[in-house]
Structure 1
């Protein structure tokens, strides 16, 4: 091939590659714009001439994760001179719920919108929005209501461990082995902790021959975290077990009925 042809081919490849990079960037920008429009849609034009709010931003101060959900009230008045139809209030976070009676708001009539904020499992800065929609504009909200503040972490160190087996606290009570390869050993871990005042040394009963149970560290001292480690040796699994099966592991070393200290193990074998 002639040198000039090589040069032309090279330049074509470079330009094609640059075009694809630009095309990918443009696509990402478009997708980001769509996400932003869903999370933070632009308000209806001249919205303040339809519904007037006593406030649209409320500083709710400092809460803790241990606090119960709290209600915060916004009042709006129809200043448009005509009847409007309130259709919905959308919140942007699972920590916030809206309570409002939808329907007609007559000229000069006021309506209360209540935002209920739940600080549980939401430590850190509060910055959550709710968008108010009318039937006259189903895509552009008439108002954005914002709660700001701060949530302090819970005083209960073990609150994020939802499963309790006496003084043993666990992140989960179910373990899934998604892919246990033929002839291989696979391990899964469960984060746990000792919420009591005495050390815990755990073992397991009812565990099948193809599985083992241990903790790391072996002794869980009071107030400390650890890992429960379940290991499965696929070469020892009986053929009649099939490709998917389950078995329970009863944890010993803590109090309670066996049903209250059971880990459920799910196994999926691949060949």
Structure 2
């Protein structure tokens, strides 16, 4: 597009007000509003005249990460004059699973929505929601159920890192590059922690030419956390390599057998 043609289009948009409208749609305030509408959608109008819960907020008190999952009952009544069907109940946190009867709820009858809270790996203040949708209101929730409370750290402060390489604790022991585009660089991370009493500096001296490795920070202090960062440069992958392939990275700087300090890297290339 020629420069002067672009200028004429911008002038036209400004004159008609479309330029400002387009800018407003992508402004930080607009994007935040759209994000909030997804994470905390408005309830159906007059929802209390359709499906009424005895209470919509329950305080779980104080738990620890070592406690077993606990289930909380939310009882609702169909206060409308027509049968209702709960289609789905969407939690805002992976710490909650939901259970409910999928049968039709007749007028005047009650039903229970069970929220099971899983404290493991979820320390801190709890304020999580579940949005309940009817088959007749798939886009607008009829209720918002809330669990509040606190979860204290468990006895094993490293329990949230399920994998270990000696004293190095990791969130995962595999890394997947799902969309490495030809000619581009892609980076993935693994969250890790140093459970030892000494600083930890990790290296990977044996790498394919198309891979780089480092940690952030470069030296992980005792009791500290960081990221293992791996970058794949697709422009350096040898011609003839498969579209999907796997290779290992052996990490130095931890005391363990080579097999026990190996990351498996999976790469899938797309054009």
TM range (shorter): 0.5 to 0.7
Residue 176 of structure 1: how far off its partner (Å): 7.7
Whether 2:74 is the aligned partner of 1:74: answer: yes
**Residues 84-99 of structure 1: matches in 2 within 5 Å?**
84-93=83-92, 94-99=94-99
* Structure 2 residue 137 is the aligned partner of structure 1 residue 127: no
**1:4 matched residue in structure 2:** none
Aligned residues: 251
Once the two structures are superposed, residues 5-38 of structure 1 have per-residue CA deviations (whole angstroms, 9 ceiling, x without a partner) of xxxx9xx699559862453114556665554444
Q: Which has the larger strand fraction?
A: 1
Q: Which residue of 2 aligns with 1:48?
A: 48
Tell me what 2:255 maps to: 254
CA gap 1:90/1:224 in 2 versus in 1, 3 angstroms: closer
- Please give the root-mean-square deviation of Cα atoms over the aligned residues, in Å: 4.8
1:57 deviates by 1.3
Aligned to 1:39: 39
Between 1:21-30 and 1:126-135, the stretch displaced more is: 21-30
Give 1:45 shift. Answer: 3.3
**Cα separation, partners in 2 of 1:42 and 1:267, compared to 1, 3 Å:** closer
Rate the CA distance shift 1:196–1:24 in 2: closer, same or farther, 3 A.
closer
Q: Aligned equivalents of 1:44 and 1:268: distance in 2?
A: 43
Instruction: Find the structure with the greater CA-based Rg.
Output: 1
Structure 1 residue ranges without an equivalent (≥5): 1-8, 182-186
Q: 1:20 matched to which residue of 2?
A: 19
Structure 2 counterpart SS, 1:145: strand
Q: Give the deviation of 1:97 after TM superposition.
A: 1.9
Are positions 1:113 and 2:113 aligned together? yes
C-alpha contact 2:132 2:143 (8 A) present in aligned 1:
yes
CA contact (8 A) 2:58 2:146 kept: yes
TM-superposed CA distance for 1:120, in Å, is: 3.3
Aligned to 1:58: 58
How do 1:1-271 residues align onto structure 2 when only pairs under 5 Å count?
20-26=19-25, 28=27, 34-80=34-80, 82-93=81-92, 94-174=94-174, 192-196=192-196, 207=206, 223=223, 247-251=247-251, 254-255=255-256, 258-265=258-265
Relative to the length of structure 1, the TM-score reads 0.63
Deviation by residue 1:200-247 (Cα, 9 ceiling, x = unmatched):
898879x36969999999998864567878899xxxx99789598754
Equivalent-residue separation in structure 1 for 2:198 and 2:33 (angstroms): 55
- Give the distance between the partners of 2:112 and 2:84, measured in 1 at CA: 14
Taking the aligned partners of 1:165 and 1:22, their CA distance within structure 2 comes to: 53
